[in-house]
């Protein structure tokens, strides 16, 4: 079954689907991002898949296709402070809630990637949703590209950490830069406690 066919099966009961996903739960730095997307029922987007399986170039190209053809979409985030106050899961759920509430169109069901749902109406968790549902996969691409662009902005602001290379994830290079320069204002301090 294709990602498009999965969504079409759900549309028999819930005609308007919103797909939601987040990006950036794992990194040591930066905000967590989320996207919500409502696609037209007859739209098949070639090559859309779980954003982690796509190259950056492919994601960038798909970002433009999705944003141009979606009936509605919204990209939202939760800040490093919110991550620290709520924990990363709570902040990711908050970002998804903001994305869903930012859609300019109502939906019949919201498909959420993973096993938890944000506090929004008609939410359904779909494990590996970004590899099953075209709507969730599209949201996955928007969230990932938006977050990567944001990390490139942080790279210009804090060039010593080389954020554009590792996007804030806990790579050897990133740990080396934290040891050398100490944490920046955009580092998630609770994530650095495990650092040796």
Q: Hey, where are the domains in the chain?
A: 3-192
60 torsion bin: left (phi>0), alpha (psi -120 to 50), beta (else)? alpha
- Of 88, 85, 111, 103, give the one whose Cα is nearest residue 24: 88
| Residue pair 175/194 in contact by the 8 Å Cβ criterion | no
Asked if the model's pLDDT at residue 196 lies above 70, the reply is no
Fold of 3-192: Nucleotidyltransferase; domain 5 (3.30.420)
24-53 pLDDT per residue, tens: 999 999 999 999 999 999 999 988 876 778
3-state secondary structure of 23: strand
pLDDT for residue 12: 97
Cα–Cα distance for residue pair 34/74, rounded to 1 Å: 8
pTM of the model: 0.95
50-85 pLDDT per residue, tens: 677 889 999 999 999 999 999 999 999 999 999 999
């Amino acid at each position: 079954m294709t990602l498009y066919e999965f969504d079409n099966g759900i549309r028999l009961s819930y005609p308007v689907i919103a797909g939601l996903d987040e990006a950036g739960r794992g990194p040591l730095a930066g905000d967590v991002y989320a996207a919500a997307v409502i696609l037209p029922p007859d739209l098949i987007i070639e090559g859309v898949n779980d954003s982690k399986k796509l190259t950056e170039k492919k994601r960038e190209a798909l970002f433009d296709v999705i944003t141009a053809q979606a009936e509605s979409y919204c990209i939202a985030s939760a800040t490093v402070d919110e991550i620290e106050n709520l924990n990363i899961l709570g902040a990711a759920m908050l970002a998804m809630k903001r994305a869903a509430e930012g859609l300019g169109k109502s939906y019949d069901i919201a498909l959420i990637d993973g096993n938890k749902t944000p506090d929004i109406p008609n939410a359904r968790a779909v494990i590996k949703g970004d590899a099953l549902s075209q709507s969730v996969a599209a949201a996955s691409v928007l969230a990932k590209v938006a977050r990567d662009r944001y990390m490139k902005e942080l790279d210009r602001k804090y060039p010593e950490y080389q954020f554009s290379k590792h996007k804030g994830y806990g790579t050897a290079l990133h740990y080396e830069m934290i040891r050398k320069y100490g944490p920046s204002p955009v580092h998630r301090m609770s994530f650095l406690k495990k650092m040796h």
